[in-house]
Structure 1
Amino acid sequence: MAVSVVVITGCSSGIGLATAARLAGDDSKKYKVYATMRDTSRKQQLVQTVGDALGQTLFIRELDVTKDESVEAFFSQVYEEDGRVDILVNNAGILTTYPLEGVPFEVNRQIMETNFFGALRTIQKVIPNMKKRRSGRIINIGSMAGVIGFPFSDGYCAAKFALEGLSESLVAVLKQFDVHISMIAFGLVMTPLLQGLGGNLNLNEDAVGEETLELMQKGMASKHWQSTSVDFIQTVGQAAEVVVSVIEDPNPKLRYTNREEIREFLSLKLKDLSGENVVAHQMKYFET
């Protein structure tokens, strides 16, 4: 069995780290994993997790998906060493919450650069070779926030919505070349991104206004938010198993979710194109 060359972005922590470790530890050693991260000084957790697999089935490389030159250098090296990428997992991402009017434009630019344009850059680099070989898998780590909007997650939702559109637009064309692209619409996963939710963004409180700040705090503390968290949350290990199952699915689909509850949740939007179901769900965050 030929070894599959896998590239995973955003492997310093979270789903990327767990997925890289899971694939590299496969008993049959059928994967050669390039675990990439913007800052390789943050590799220690991954190094400790993979143990003897480091340098055998897993290789840590620097890749900043927001920089053209970094993407070019990385993929040039991979193609020189291996001649191909069989599986690309776009996982690198930024997650935060804030009132849109209270943060500098650059915050949203960086979210879009990482969560959307970062994936677009890597996809552009693998498509020509995959089409030529008529083989390949592209897996984009999405979110239920890429299908339905959430209060105070404007920039994040916008980027994930864009990634959904990109994937849908590519799927039929790539199928003509036996190349498959998939989205995984995850719910809440207990990653460092989630644990840092809402972080210190130096909000311009004057621009936001006291009433809106109170609404954000109320929403985050609401029973609806808490019940949603309990229903949908997963560990990174569980999330990694979902990614592996998608990689190994013999009949690749465009979209996957990690829980039945999320499929029901996302169907709210499709059942009522007026958007009233979505609005009604969002309003629950502000109920007492």
Structure 2
Amino acid sequence: MTTPRICLITGTSSGIGLATAVAAARAGFTTVATMRDPDRAGPLLDAAERAGVSLDVRRLDVTDADSVTACTEAVARDHGRLDAVVNNAGISNFDPTLEMSTMAALRANLEVNFFGVIAVSRAAMPLLRASGGRLVTIGSVHGVVGQPFNEAYCAAKFAVEGFMESLAPVAAAHGVKVSVVVPGFVRGTSFGIFPDVNRKTVEAASGPYAPTFADYIAWVGGQGWEGAGQQPQDVADVVVDTLRADRPAFRIPTNRWAAEYLDQKLTDRDGGVVGTLARTWIGRPELP
């Protein structure tokens, strides 16, 4: 009998994190499901009960250094090892571009989506080196292709891509496999949903950018993401496959749409293709 592998997942109160925690437990991992507020664990525990699995639910706030340290040390103490980490916790933003946002909002986005990932990875790495483990991070197509009016989120996801790509060969030399799982638009989750954003609020908040922002909203609400949508479970299945693969790739898109979307950037040496594409999103295809 083999010892079950221990997997810690951040941001498991909903969405991709919730689905991944349950899927990992079903795949045989002893799953440490973490979240900033354990009082919000109800949906996760209900899903685990329906799936017939048990989870070790713990508090972990990726922006709180003491919380990160306390959680990883407790996992090592209680389970004796750590074999995998899935960096999933994150926040989204929808600001009417750089000038109309605030430095506090921009910093908060980077703090969670980039520095939070790095803090957890840094704390876990000694344990992953000891076990020859896996470090998997939920990225985004927006970490490869910039998206108008999502500057801070894209910056954080670009930073995650660059950091993990740089870390991967070093980690591999010391027995740790690093991967970034890249979903597109995920349905069935509140992430990225802004019910109070509409034409009226756009006009009020966007200043001189209001017409451009309105065109972007129209594109998003129309055919902008046609073929892109996935459910959290679809992404969770890819994450679990990555955790179990003998030689996982570094960058793993979660469906065909995401793969084709990334291809537009990764084969775009001078940036012209993505620039042209982005101009269609804001209703200005004629711009140079």
Same fold flag (TM > 0.5): yes
- Aligned residues of 1:144 and 1:187 also touching (Cα < 8 A): yes
Distance 1:286 1:118 in 2: 31
- Aligned residues of 2:76 and 2:127 also touching (Cα < 8 A): no
Q: Paired residue for 1:3?
A: 4
Distance 1:154 1:197 in 2: 20
| Residues 25 and 132 of structure 1, relative CA distance in 2, 3 Å threshold | closer
SS in 2 for 1:110: helix
Gaps of 5+ in 2: none
CA positional deviation for 1:253:
1.2
The equivalences for 1:8-157 within 5 A come to 8-26=9-27, 30-51=28-49, 57-98=54-95, 99-133=97-131, 135-157=132-154
2:258 is equivalent to residue 257 of structure 1: no
Q: Pick the aligned partner of 2:276 from 230, 255, 280.
A: 280
CA positional deviation for 1:162:
0.5
CA positional deviation for 1:155:
0.2
CA positional deviation for 1:205:
7.3
| Residues 239 and 146 of structure 1, relative CA distance in 2, 3 Å threshold | same
CA positional deviation for 1:84:
1.6
CA positional deviation for 1:225:
6.1
Q: Pick the aligned partner of 1:171 from 168, 182, 196.
A: 168
Superimposed CA distance per residue, residues 22-59 of structure 1 (whole angstroms, 9 cap, x where no aligned partner): 22234xxx2111111001111111111111779x7311
Distance 2:102 2:203 in 1: 12
**AA in 1 matched with 2:20:** T
The equivalences for 1:233-244 within 5 A come to 233-244=229-240
Distance 2:32 2:110 in 1: 24
Distance 2:22 2:192 in 1: 20
SS in 1 for 2:181: strand
SS in 2 for 1:22: helix
**AA in 2 matched with 1:136:** G
- Aligned residues of 2:139 and 2:160 also touching (Cα < 8 A): yes
| TM-score, L = length of structure 2 | 0.90
Gaps of 5+ in 1: none
Q: Paired residue for 2:185?
A: 188
| TM-score, L = length of structure 1 | 0.90
Number of aligned residues:
279
